[in-house]
Amino acid sequence: MRFMRFVMFDASKTHEVAAASDKVWKNPPAGIKILASYICLGLVFPGTQSTMMVAIQIIEAESTEAMAATTYPISLAGAMTWDVPLMELPVGASAEEEVGKRNI
């Protein structure tokens, strides 16, 4: 299953979070991989403090154990993480998908 992972941390913790992230993703556990990774250069959410950094990753995970194995060390370094499940829809087929669900 695919997830959008948000990682938020104070800029003063950048070194610690980056080191933990590098260690985790250098040899990730079986069943998880990063498909894309971004660092936001502006305020992502209303009310976000200007000293906060936000990373957004698209990950594919086969189990909660694999997700925890990559989240826990980064959290210990001072980051807040949360994962949002993603539902993949074919481009241009959203309305068809919705109509199909109503007929079930």
Q: Where are the domains of the chain?
A: 2-102
Token couple for 39 = 């660092």
Residue range 1-46, pLDDT digits in tens = 999 999 999 999 999 999 999 999 999 999 999 999 999 888 888 8
Name the superfamily (CATH) of residues 2-102: ACT domain (3.30.70.260)
What would the mean pLDDT of 81-87 be, rounded to a whole number? 93
DSSP result, 60-99: EES-HHHHHHHHHHHHHTT-EEEEEE-----TT-HHHHHH
34-54 pLDDT, tens digit per residue, is 999 999 888 888 888 888 999
Note the pLDDT of residue 14: 93
d(CA 32, CA 37): 14
pTM (global) more than 0.85: no
Q: What is the DSSP letter of 25?
A: H
